[in-house]
Chains A and B, each alone.
Chain A
Amino acid sequence: MGTPKMASATLTFPTWRRAVRSTGGSMAELHVIGQIVGGSGFPRRRLFCKWGLHAGGAWKLLSGSGSGQTQVDDPQADDVAYWCHPLDVHFATKGLQGWPKLHLQVWHQDELGRGEVLGYGFCHVPATPGCHALTCVTWRPRGTWRERLSQRFVGGGPQLRNPDAAGAAADRFRLRTEAAGIVHLQLGVVLRHFGRYGVEC
């Protein structure tokens, strides 16, 4: 960008000029392009997945949707439910703190249309550029034996009051959980201008 044009921009947008001047017109950007491939190892079929990306205050979601929900997939042959749900987001940031995390919830929808959580999963978005085939393990809150018994026959069971807070590490020790299934992810990560700030990933 030439200097004369910058000068003309300064007249109208003084705040922008400051931004451009200090970073050389470049911000650190993160593209995540990929898909939630599927889930396996869950005790039931007919699964769907709710997902959300959570990032710290320094981060800004520039485009793409940061949360969503897949369709209900009922695997016929094996126990892997395939969703192939697309993920395509573009973040910009001014700091490393609060690197985006992916929050996943695997739900089961039964024949009567009732929903039941089978697993909560949390994972960091990879910080290394490239294509990553990730697995995100999940767990679910474990109820009392009475609850577990009724869960086996009629479904249901305890859910997290505030699933996003459970992603935070601080309050985890209050939880009693049991291991659930695995969610498979394929994430392509593109980083831009991080090197300009001396960040090596």
Chain B
Amino acid sequence: MADPLQSAGGAVYRSRDPVHNLRLRVRIQRVTSAGPLLPQAPPLLAGPRGPELLGLADRAATGARRPPDEEEEEAEVGWQEKLFSQFEVDLYQNESACQTPLDRQYHKEILKLEKAGGRKNYRIFTYIDHDRFTNLEEHCQKVTDSDHEVPSYLAERMANVRRRRQDRRPIEASSLKSKIITWEPSEEFIKNNHVINTPVQTMYIMGDLGPYGKLGHREYEHVLCTIKVDGNGVITVKPDFTGTKGAYRIELDGEKREVWKYTIENASVQVQPEEEEREQCVFRDLYGRHKEYLSGLVGSEFEMTLPGTLRLFVNGEIVSAQGYEYDNLYVHFFLELPNQWSSPTFQQLSGVTQTCATKTVGWDNVAYFCYPFTLEMFFTQGDESEDSLPQWPVLYFEVLSLDFWQRYRVEGYGSLVLPVSPGLHTLTIPTWRPVELGTVAELRRFFIGGSPELEDITYIRIPSTFKGERLSRFGFRTETTGSVTFRLYCLQQSRAFLETSALRQRMQSVLDRLGGFSQQSSVYNVLEAFQRARRRMQEARESLPRDLIGTSASAVHQLQEP
């Protein structure tokens, strides 16, 4: 059983074991009617029961005039085990009072009990799920102290449903195919579906707290404990099992104002440790097998990078372009890989989207592309530039429009450096286009199409052919146009990350404490990790015999794994 959730005097337990294993031990004791209160009963949880019980009984006997067996009673009750009260014994003894089959069954049981030598319990008895009391209690429960309280409509409905206690099977997946909606719900259907309909079984443990010799009066019956169990193994015990808090008390009305106190314990047979262990072993084995099976399905080798390389994997999308002058836009882009970067041969490094007619959203004309692309590239640390920062790949793009008469117009140029840090990046890149001065150029653009274009698109940033010290763009006229939205999910993979993951986490937390350095440091982190990995690899190479070099990479990998 899991730990209970304490709620308003009751406790909720969950158990997957069959509920008929549930047993409760209830002990009830009259504290005293007139004298001062006795000290609390000692804990009853551990140790053999016999001697302790005797001792308690002795103590109780010294403080009162009654015989000890009357003052204190203990009973162990199983789930839905019927213990008759004096009242019920008197009632069901004569067969003429029995009306229902249940009554007759009780009659037989009581006769049998008489033959066997009378019942063992006097004050403690139970009402089980089939008893009339259970339904009445359910129905007539008052929630306010108003004298004229009437059960609400919903409560009546609930009681109605509860009493039937039908065992409905949960809806199977296959029935989805047949019918999802009941177009003409019947009365019955509505009744069952508009209220909580978890079948609950209830049991009450009662105490007959009447004066000695006057047992069997209904007005002295008190509920000691209510136990409810639903089909999903949720057990509600109200009040909870007596734990460290001490016994519960009942103070009777009337002139004597007797105080009774009682404890409830969970007396279910516990699982043997060996058995539990065996069960866990079976489960562990099962889960292990299942895991192996799954990894067998997928395959074993996760693709790894070569030592000393960083793999940059970008799942990107050109989402939209907005704010452009003309309609029917498309985007042409390509990726520039700097030195030391390479990409697999199958990798496409450029692309063209479809032509999309815009629509008006707010103030802007927006073209939706949702053009997904995947870029994969490798960075290999070169020898000559160990101390310089690596350049990161750049994505250049141009936005063009194409109209009905097949006239092209350049709408904008832009570029973005692929994000250095892994994760999701949504980038909206503003663009510009070159303009010529004068109305004639604009008229030409409007009527004939075509407009000044960049000869070398890398002029957006520092052109690839540029070798000088200062790049001057003086005299180059541009005009701001719209913007293009990209969404990039960047993944980075490297063996260096394996080694440093623990270290880096520690570093990051320190940097976080210093405040905002982690963003800047990520490049350095990557670099640092590379160099460490490289150095280590070189050392390993030097120290190993020649024939082992080929397999050294995988050996290192094996060592890393926990």
| A-to-B contact residues, CB < 8 Å | 1, 5, 9, 13, 15-16, 18-20, 22-28, 41, 58, 60, 62, 92-97, 99, 101, 121-124, 126-128, 132, 136-139, 142, 167, 169-170, 172-180, 195-201
Contact = CB atoms under 8 A, between A and B. Distances in A.
19 contacts: A20-B295, A25-B291, A25-B295, A58-B303, A92-B295, A95-B303, A124-B487, A124-B489, A126-B489, A132-B424, A138-B370, A169-B373, A172-B352, A173-B354, A177-B357, A196-B561, A198-B497, A200-B422, A201-B422
A200 B354 contact: no
B352 A94 contact: no
B356 A139 contact: yes
Given A121-B370, A201-B423, A175 B489 contact: no
A178 B355 CA distance: 8
Nearest to B320: A137
Interface of B: 285, 288-289, 291-305, 311, 313, 315-317, 319-320, 328, 330, 348, 351-359, 361, 366-374, 376, 422-424, 487, 489-498, 501, 561-562
Nearest to A180: B368
Given A94-B303, A124-B489, A139 B292 contact: no
Contact of A197 (B376, B493, B562): B493
A177 B300 contact: no
Nearest to A174: B354
Across the A-B interface, give the 6 residue pairs with the lowest CB-CB distance, nearest first.
A175-B354, A137-B368, A178-B357, A127-B489, A19-B300, A179-B368
Nearest to B287: A1
B357 A27 contact: no
Which of B351, B489, B501 counts the most A-chain CB atoms under 10 A from its CB? B489
A128 B489 contact: yes
B424 A26 contact: no
Given A16-B293, A124-B315, A199-B491, 7 more contacts: A22-B300, A58-B299, A96-B376, A99-B374, A169-B371, A172-B353, A201-B423
Contacts of A26: 295
Contacts of A175: 354-355
A93 B348 CA distance: 23
Contacts of A94: 298-303
Contacts of A60: 297-298
Contacts of B561: 24, 196
A99 B491 CA distance: 11
B352 to A, nearest CB: 4
Given A9-B292, A173-B353, A128 B370 contact: no
Contacts of A176: 328, 354-357
Contact of B317 (A13, A123, A170, A199): A123
Contact of B294 (A92, A95, A136): A92
B215 to A, nearest CB: 59
Contact of B370 (A123, A126, A198, A200): A123
Contact of B501 (A1, A16, A167, A195): A195
A179 B359 contact: yes
Contacts of A15: 296
Contact of A122 (B303, B370, B491): B370
B300 A23 contact: yes
Contact of B354 (A13, A96, A124, A172): A172
Contacts of B357: 142, 176-179
A170 B371 CA distance: 10
Contacts of B319: 137
A200 B311 CA distance: 10
A198 B304 contact: yes
A12 to B, nearest CB: 10
A161 B357 CA distance: 20
A65 to B, nearest CB: 11
Given A5-B285, A19-B296, A101-B372, A198 B494 contact: yes
Contacts of B367: 179
B362 to A, nearest CB: 11
Contacts of B356: 139, 176-179
B360 to A, nearest CB: 9
Nearest to A135: B319
Which of B302, B303, B423 counts the most A-chain CB atoms under 10 A from its CB? B302
Given A5-B288, A9-B292, A27-B295, A199 B492 contact: yes
Contact of A13 (B292, B320, B348): B292
Nearest to B354: A175
A124 to B, nearest CB: 4
Contacts of B489: 99, 124, 126-128, 201
A25 B366 CA distance: 49
B497 A200 contact: yes
B359 A178 contact: yes
A126 B424 contact: yes
A142 B328 CA distance: 10
A136 to B, nearest CB: 6
Contacts of B366: 179
Contacts of B295: 16, 19-20, 23, 25-27, 92
Nearest to A92: B298
B285 to A, nearest CB: 7
Which of B292, B367, B496 counts the most A-chain CB atoms under 10 A from its CB? B292
A1 B494 contact: no
Given A94-B302, A179-B356, A199-B491, A127 B497 contact: no
Contacts of A196: 498, 561
A145 to B, nearest CB: 9
B434 to A, nearest CB: 24
A92 B374 CA distance: 19
A20 B292 contact: yes
B499 to A, nearest CB: 9
Nearest to B351: A169
Nearest to B373: A169
Contacts of B315: 99, 124, 127
Given A132-B424, A139-B368, A93 B298 contact: yes
Nearest to B404: A145
